[in-house]
Amino acid sequence: MKKGLIIFAGLVILVKVHAQTVTDFDGNVYNTVTIGTQVWMKENLKVTRYNNGDSIPKVINDTIWENQTAGAYCDFENFAANSVIYGKLYNWFTVNDNRGIAPSGWHIPTDEDWTLLTNALGGESISGGKLKDTGTVYWISPNMGATNESGFSGLPGGNRYDDGRFGGIRDDANFWSSTAFDINYAKIRSLTYSLPSVSNTSFLKKKRVISTLC
């Protein structure tokens, strides 16, 4: 499950059967890692189609993004090369679409799935460092507490805000859960360069995060 906030960079999805790699509908192949009793993708999702073959709308225009109330994705700063490293940015409507974006046998992680992950690594206060890729090639300094001892290799893919602006690349890794908080917000988990912890909070469903599979 690696890298990213939804809006940020990354959705995580729980796998039902053990496998070293998993392939999405577009044919992208992702490495996986076992953490506790779960198997997570080690890379952020890059798929551009739902599992029935329908295209997920790619939204570049800020105004359209701001008013979007259905699934959509983009590249950070609308630059495709960013998605090669960090994966696509998706809004929560994409995550929650019944057509599905997770490969067969996988699902977007629930809030409970995220809690199981952080508990397996010692709790939210210290598990962030264990989930982050080490060094400052992708993260800005000091990348506090980063050991990546879990093998999750989380990367800071940035965000797209509800008004269309981009931000946070190399600073934060934010991941959607499939769990709604209320009509406007959904639960997420976040990693940051300045702390060794995992933030447990919620984001506007219109915001974009990088999705990773668990």
In order along its 214 residues, the chain shows pLDDT tens digits of 443 333 334 444 443 445 599 999 999 999 999 999 999 999 999 999 999 999 999 999 999 999 999 999 999 999 999 999 999 999 999 999 999 999 988 999 999 999 999 999 999 999 999 999 999 999 999 999 999 999 999 999 999 998 999 999 999 999 999 999 999 999 999 999 999 999 999 998 887 665 555 5
- Going from N- to C-terminal start, the domains of the chain cover 14-210
Helices first, then strands: H and E counts in the chain? 5, 13
- Is 10 within 8 Å of 210 (Cβ atoms)? yes
Give alpha helix (H) positions in 121-214: 124-131
Contact 61, 78 (CB under 8 A): no
Longest Cα separation, the chain: 43
Query: How does strand 21-23 pair with strand 29-35?
Result: antiparallel
Q: What is the pTM of this model?
A: 0.88
C-alpha–C-alpha distance, residues 204 and 134, integer Å: 29
Distance, in Å, from the CA atom of 81 to the CA atom of 34, rounded to the nearest integer, reads 28
